[in-house]
Structure 1
Amino acid sequence: MTTTVITPERAGSLAGLFRERVDASPEKVAYRQFDPARGTWARCTWADMAHEVGRWQMALRREGLEPGDRVAMMLRNCREWITFDQAALGLGLVTVPLYTDDRPDNVAYILEQAGVKVLLLEDRAQWRRLHPVRDRLPTVTTIVSLRGFDDDSAPGDPRLTAAADWLFGLDGDLITRLEEPDHLATIVYTSGTTGRPKGVMLSHRALLFNAHAASQCAPLGGEDVFLSFLPLSHTLERTAGYFLPMAVGAEVAFARSIAQLAEDLRVVQPTVLVSVPRIYESVYAKIQAGLKQKPAFARRLFQATVNTGWARFEYLQRRAGWSPRLLLWPLLRRLVARQVLERLGGRLEYAVCGGAPLPPPIARFFIGLGLPVYHGYGLTEASPVVTVNRPDDNLPASIGKPLPGVEIRIGEQDELLTRSPSVMLGYWRNDEATAAAIDSDGWLHTGDKARVDDRGFVFITGRIKDIIVLGNGEKVPPADMEMAIQLDPLFDQVLVIGEARPFLSALVVLDDSAWREFAAELDIDPDSDDDLRGRFAERSLLARVQAQLKDFPGYARIRRLTALREPWTIDDGLLTPTLKMKRARILDRHRDHVDRMYADYTDA
C-alpha cells in the first residue's frame, strides 16, 4: 500500500496536517480502539474522524472562545483525545494536555496558570478527584465529561455537562483556520522533579518539523500499525505516536491499559511501539523470573540464542565479522526467540525507547532475540526528539545521532545543547526560566552531560545537577548506579544517596513477589518489618546490590541500605507523571531512615 507522506510545508499547521491526511486517505483506517460494550475493536476512517472533529468544533464555537484561548483535556489515550485536540487546533485554540493520574493540586495549578477555559474529562471518577480543588479553577467556564456525571457529582455547579449533551444535535463541516506555523499550538507542562511544573510553549512548526524529521529515520508508511499506550499528554507519544503516524498515513490502535498491554500486543500485532525503559525492564524481569524455573539446559539454550542473535546484529551493523555460529540463528529463532516475540505481537519492526536511559544489558537482551530496539533521546522543550538510532546505524549503548535538521554541540560542563525549528517558543509566563534555558544564539540547554564519538553517536554521561559529590570529593552519577541495581528483579525502585556524606547509601523498594522468594531463601518472615530492617537482611540485600555494581569504580559502593515495601507513586507526590523520581521529596519522606543509616554505620 502506497501512502502519501505529508510534509510540514504542505501541512502548514497541525490542523492542516489533519485536513491533508483526510483529503489524501479518506477511507483508510485511522484509529482502532476497544469497545467494551461490544467486546470488539472498533475502527474508524479519516473521513469518520473529520466528521467528528467538525461536530466538536461546533460545540467549541458555542463556548464563545477566541483564537489563542486555552482548552485542556484530561483523557486516557483514545479517539476522542485526538478529536478534541484537532477540533481546538482547527479553530486556532491552544491545547493543554493533562495527565489522567496527576495530583489534583497540580492539575488546579496548571489550569489556573494557563488560564484554561474549557476542560474535557474522562468520567465522573476524575471529577470526584478534582472536586476538592473545584474552587481553584477560576478561569474554567465549562467542564465536559466524556462519560457523563453522577447526579450528585457537584450539585449546583453550572459548569458541568456530559459530552453527549454538549454535542447533541450538532453537525458541521471541518474547519481549518489558516494558522501561521510559528503560532502557539500547545502548552505542555513538564513534570518537573523539583518545584512547580513549567508550561512549555510549542508551535505548529516545532511539532510538525519534529514529527517529519523523526519519520525520516526509518521507512515508515501506510502499512504500519502503532500501538499507543504512553500517555498522549507525554510529548514523545504525541509527536511519535500521533503526529508522525498522521504524516505517514499509518494506523494507530489505542491500548486499553498497561495491565492489558500484553493481551493488546498479541491482538493488535503492531509494527511500531514507542515506549519508555520501564516497559522493557518489566518484560525483561518477567522473562528472567520465568527462566529461573526452567531446567539448566533450557536456560543455556536461551542464553545461546541471545548471544547468537547479538552476534548476528553486530555483524549486520558491520561492527563484527561473520562467524559460523550465525548459521544456527534460523534454528534458534524458531525454537526460542519466536516464542518471546509472539508475546509482543510477532510483527514488531521498530521498538523505540526514549524518556530515560535504556540499560545496555536489556537492549542487548531484546536485540539478541531479534527485536529491533532503537534508543533515542529528547525533552519536551525540543518537541521532543533530538537524537535516535537508525535501523542501519544502531549503537544501543548510545542515544543515536541527531535527527535531520537538528544541530547539537557540547557546551560548558559537557552539557548537551541543541538548536532546530523544534525548540520551544519558551515557558508560558516565565521569561526568567526561558532565558535560562535558551541562550542568545538559540541553543537549548538540556541540563544533560554528553559526549559525541568519532562516528557521530551521542552518549549521555549524566545530569549536571544530579551528580552526587561525596564528602571526599568523589563525584558519582546516581542514575547510572540506580539503573544497574534495578536490573536485579528484586529491586523495583532505587534511590542512591550520598551528597556531602562520607559514603553512599540507598533506599530500595522491593518487588513483592521477588522479595517473598528471597525471604524464603533467607528463612525470614517477608511480612516482618523487624526482619526486613535487621542486619542479616540488609547484608543479604547489599550483596545483591554489590553484584550489580561490580563494574563500577571502587568508591561507587553502597555501604548501607534501607529496604521498603511500599512503592513510590504519582499519587503520593514522589513520582512525576512520567515516573521520574522526585529525589528531594523522597529524601524528605524517608529522612529518619536516611539519618539512621549514617548515624549507626559501622564497617563491621
Structure 2
Amino acid sequence: MSSAQSVIGSDKISARPASVAHLFLSRVEATPNAEAYRFPVPVDEHAADSTPGAEQWRSLTWAQTAVRVRNVAAGLMALGVRAEDRVAIASSTRVEWIIADLGNMCAGSATTTVYPSTNADETAFILANSASRALFAENAAQLAKVVAQHDQLPELAQVILFDAPAERPAVDGLEILTLAELEERGAGYLKEHPDAVDRAVAALDPEQLATLIYTSGTTGRPKGVRLVHDCWAYEGVAQQESGLLRSEDVQFMWLPLSHVFGKTLISGQIATGHVMAVDGRVDRIIHNLPVIRPTLMASAPRIFEKVYNGIAGRARAEGGAKYKIFLWAAQVAREYARTTQASRVATGRESAPFALKLQHAVADKLVYAKIRAAFGGRLRGSVSGSAALTPEIGYFFLGAGVPILEGYGLTETSAGSTVNRAEDVRIGTCGPPLPGTEVRIAEDGEILLRGPGVMRGYHDLPEQTAEVLEPDGWFHTGDIGELDKDGYVRITDRKKDMFKTSGGKYVAPSEVEGKFKAICPFVSNILVIGNGRNFCTALISLDETVIMPWAAEKGLTAGTYAEVVAAPEVHTLIEGFVKKLNGDLQRWQTIKKFTLLPRDLDIEHGELTPSLKIKRPVVERTYADAVTEMYAGANEA
C-alpha cells in the first residue's frame, strides 16, 4: 500500500456473538415481553366505526417475533434450503421483510436483497447471479417479474408471497406459497425437529455468508457484495457501544431495507432492544411522524432538503410578516448552530453571545417548536447517509433542535463506518469512526477503511475485489476526504466524479451542487457538467411541490410542471440563484449556463439509484441535446 496519514480509529471492540441470529436469540431471552416492532395494518372494513383506508398500529414483542422467525427458518428447512443457500427478498420496507431476513439467518441461509423498484431483467440477473434458491416476494407485481423470467432462473424453486393475489399462476418447476403457509409448514417441521433452528444457529460461523447486496451502481450490471455474519454482528455491537442507538429509543424505519443503510440498523436495534416502527411508504412519512413520535430516525439527505423546501415554501405562500419571520429564524438557527458548534469544538462546552441566545429563544417559540412538533416532538437525532448533506441544511435543523447526525459508509462496509454523535454534532463532517473501524487517508486523498464491517469481496468477481480490497484488509472507498485533529471524517467528493476543465482546473461537482441546494429552495436535483470543457454548466430540476405554488402566486397560467419550468419568469427566478451561487465560487467553478429539465429525475427512468443518488452518465445521456446546446458556439479549445 502507498504511504498514508496516520490511522484514526481503533480495531478494538467488545466481544460479539458469531452472528445476528445469535444476537437475536439472546435478545429474545433477555427481554421476551418487551415491544420489538410496530407496524400499520388496515382497520377491519366491517367494523362499525371504520372508514375507508383507516389504519391502526400493532406491535410484536420479542417473544412473538421469535415464534414467527423460528417458523420461517424451519419452513425454509422444510423446503430444502440449507446453509449458505441464497434466499432473496423483493419487497418494500415492512415488518415481514425483517421477519424473513431473520428467518433466513436463523436457518443458516443467506439473504439476497432486491429493490422492489428493480425491473424484471435486472431482478432476473440478481437472482441468477446469486443462485438464489427461493424468493420472498411482496406481492403479485414482484411475482410477475419472476414468472416472466423463470426460464433464466433454474435455481429458483419457491416463491413465498407476503401479499398473495386472488389467483396464483401455475409455473412449472416453481412452487408458490404464502408467508402464512410457510410459517405453518415451519411449525409442523419444528414438532418433528424441535431443536432444528437452535442447531442451525449454533452451527453458524462468523465468516459464513449472511447477505448479498447488489450495488445499484451508476453504470453496468450491479456487483454482489458479500457480507458475512460477522459484518452484521459487528455493526450491532458497534452501534450500541457508540451510543448511536439506545435501549429506550423508538426508531422510525422507512428506509429501503434492500439498501445497506436500512439493513444495518436492524442489527443495532436487536443489540439494544429498542422499539422499531416499520413502514416504508414514503408518502406516509409526514403523517406517521406525529403518530410514532420517534426519538430516532434515519434518512437520505434528499428528504431533509424536501422538508426544508416545504417549510420555506409554506412560509412564502403565507407571505408578508410570516415569511420575513421564517427567513430571520432560519438565519438565526444557522448562526446559533455554527456558534455553539465552534465553542463546543474549542472548549468542550456550548456557548453563544447573550443577544444570539435571546434571538434563538424568540425564534424557537415562533418557528422551531412547530418544526420539532412536526417530527413528533421528541426526536433526539436523525441519522443521515447515502449521500452528502448540504451544510446549510444541517445547520438549520441543528439550530432548530432537530440534529441531523451525518454518517458515512458504503455497501462494501456494511454501511456504518463513521457517524456523528448527538452530543457532539459537527456539521460538514461524517463524524468519527465507529468502535472497531479504522480510517486513513491515502496520498491522493482517497479514504481507506478497515474493520469487521468491510465486505469479504464481490461475488464471483476476484479481479474487481482485488482492485479495492488490500490483502491487509484496507478498503479503497473511491471517496476523497480528510480527517480533522479529533478524527472526524470530511468527504470532499467522489474520486470518480471529480473532473478537470479544459483549462486544467479540477472541479468537485458535489461541492458546487451542495452550495446551490443551500441557497435555492426551489431545486430538487442539480447536475454540474464540465469535464474537458472550458466552463461549467448545469442541468437543474425543480421541486414541483414548491415551484407550482410560487407559479400560481405569480399568476402563471400554465398548468403542468413542464410548462411552468419553461416560462421565462421561472428561468429568471433560477438565474438569480445561479448568480448568487457564482459569487461564492472560484472562477473555474462558476455555472455559465443552465437548463431547467421538463421533469424531475427519478428511479423509474433510471436516473436515480434506489438510495436517491444521481446516475450522472444516465442523466447526461438522456439530456445530451440540452448539454450540446449549452456548449454550442462556445470555444472548446
Settle same-fold status: TM greater than 0.5.
Answer: yes
* Aligned counterparts of 2:604 and 2:244: Cα–Cα separation in 1: 40
- Structure 1 length-normalised TM: 0.92
* Aligned counterparts of 1:153 and 1:303: Cα–Cα separation in 2: 57
Matched, 1:26 2:50: no
Change in Cα spacing, 1:553 to 1:441, as seen in structure 2 (3 Å) is same
Following superposition of structure 1 onto structure 2, how do residues 48-127 of structure 1 map, counting pairs within 5 Å?
48-127=64-143
Pairwise CA distance, 1:230? 0.5
1:561 equivalent among 594, 616, 619: 594
In the alignment, what sits opposite 1:384?
Answer: 415
Deviation larger for 140-149 or 511-520: 511-520
The answer (yes or no) to whether the contact 1:386–1:406 under 8 Å persists in 2 is: yes
* Aligned counterparts of 2:557 and 2:153: Cα–Cα separation in 1: 51
The answer (yes or no) to whether the contact 2:449–2:474 under 8 Å persists in 1 is: yes
* Aligned counterparts of 2:250 and 2:204: Cα–Cα separation in 1: 30
Deviation larger for 379-388 or 517-526: 517-526
| Structure 1 portions without partners, runs of 5+ | 1-6
Q: Supply the AA of the counterpart residue of 1:422.
A: G
Following superposition of structure 1 onto structure 2, how do residues 394-473 of structure 1 map, counting pairs within 5 Å?
394-473=425-504
RMSD between aligned residues: 2.6
Q: Supply the AA of the counterpart residue of 1:253.
A: A
CA offset digits 1:344-398 (Å, max 9, x no partner): 0001012111111110110111111111221111111111112111233221111
Q: Supply the AA of the counterpart residue of 2:261.
A: L
* Aligned counterparts of 1:105 and 1:150: Cα–Cα separation in 2: 25
In the alignment, what sits opposite 2:8?
Answer: none
* Aligned counterparts of 1:529 and 1:28: Cα–Cα separation in 2: 51
Change in Cα spacing, 1:274 to 1:56, as seen in structure 2 (3 Å) is same
In the alignment, what sits opposite 2:162?
Answer: 146
In the alignment, what sits opposite 2:297?
Answer: 273
1:164 equivalent among 180, 183, 186: 180
* Aligned counterparts of 1:14 and 1:145: Cα–Cα separation in 2: 24
In the alignment, what sits opposite 1:491?
Answer: 523
Change in Cα spacing, 1:103 to 1:91, as seen in structure 2 (3 Å) is same
CA offset digits 1:231-252 (Å, max 9, x no partner): 1111111112x11011011010
Matched, 1:584 2:621: no
Following superposition of structure 1 onto structure 2, how do residues 593-604 of structure 1 map, counting pairs within 5 Å?
593-600=626-633
Matched, 1:507 2:539: yes
Pairwise CA distance, 1:12? 2.3
The answer (yes or no) to whether the contact 2:368–2:400 under 8 Å persists in 1 is: yes
Pairwise CA distance, 1:560? 2.1
In the alignment, what sits opposite 1:136?
Answer: 152
In the alignment, what sits opposite 1:362?
Answer: 393
1:191 equivalent among 213, 216, 234: 216
Pairwise CA distance, 1:534? 8.0
Change in Cα spacing, 1:381 to 1:348, as seen in structure 2 (3 Å) is same
Pairwise CA distance, 1:152? 6.2
The answer (yes or no) to whether the contact 1:490–1:510 under 8 Å persists in 2 is: yes
* Aligned counterparts of 1:498 and 1:139: Cα–Cα separation in 2: 46
The answer (yes or no) to whether the contact 1:307–1:368 under 8 Å persists in 2 is: no
* Aligned counterparts of 1:216 and 1:141: Cα–Cα separation in 2: 41
CA offset digits 1:489-508 (Å, max 9, x no partner): 32212211111122212222
In the alignment, what sits opposite 1:477?
Answer: 508
Pairwise CA distance, 1:432? 0.7
Change in Cα spacing, 1:473 to 1:310, as seen in structure 2 (3 Å) is closer
In the alignment, what sits opposite 2:264?
Answer: 239
In the alignment, what sits opposite 1:573?
Answer: 606
- Structure 2 length-normalised TM: 0.88
The answer (yes or no) to whether the contact 1:91–1:177 under 8 Å persists in 2 is: no
In the alignment, what sits opposite 1:251?
Answer: 275
Q: Supply the AA of the counterpart residue of 2:529.
A: I
Deviation larger for 583-592 or 344-353: 583-592
The answer (yes or no) to whether the contact 2:384–2:405 under 8 Å persists in 1 is: yes
* Aligned counterparts of 1:502 and 1:563: Cα–Cα separation in 2: 21
Aligned length: 596
CA offset digits 1:426-464 (Å, max 9, x no partner): 111100111011112221000001111223222111111
Is the partner of 1:288 in helix, strand or coil?
Answer: helix
Change in Cα spacing, 1:517 to 1:25, as seen in structure 2 (3 Å) is closer
The answer (yes or no) to whether the contact 1:190–1:199 under 8 Å persists in 2 is: yes
Change in Cα spacing, 1:602 to 1:285, as seen in structure 2 (3 Å) is farther
* Aligned counterparts of 1:531 and 1:371: Cα–Cα separation in 2: 33
Change in Cα spacing, 1:368 to 1:432, as seen in structure 2 (3 Å) is same
Q: Supply the AA of the counterpart residue of 1:424.
A: M
CA offset digits 1:116-158 (Å, max 9, x no partner): 0100101112223444333322221111111113426456674
Pairwise CA distance, 1:327? 4.5
Change in Cα spacing, 1:531 to 1:15, as seen in structure 2 (3 Å) is closer
Change in Cα spacing, 1:518 to 1:501, as seen in structure 2 (3 Å) is farther
In the alignment, what sits opposite 2:242?
Answer: 217
The answer (yes or no) to whether the contact 1:103–1:570 under 8 Å persists in 2 is: no
The answer (yes or no) to whether the contact 2:78–2:185 under 8 Å persists in 1 is: no
2:315 equivalent among 262, 273, 291: 291
Change in Cα spacing, 1:503 to 1:218, as seen in structure 2 (3 Å) is same
Q: Supply the AA of the counterpart residue of 2:353.
A: S
Change in Cα spacing, 1:86 to 1:330, as seen in structure 2 (3 Å) is same
* Aligned counterparts of 1:192 and 1:576: Cα–Cα separation in 2: 7
Is the partner of 1:486 in helix, strand or coil?
Answer: helix
Identity of aligned residues (%): 32
* Aligned counterparts of 2:371 and 2:634: Cα–Cα separation in 1: 45
Pairwise CA distance, 1:486? 3.1
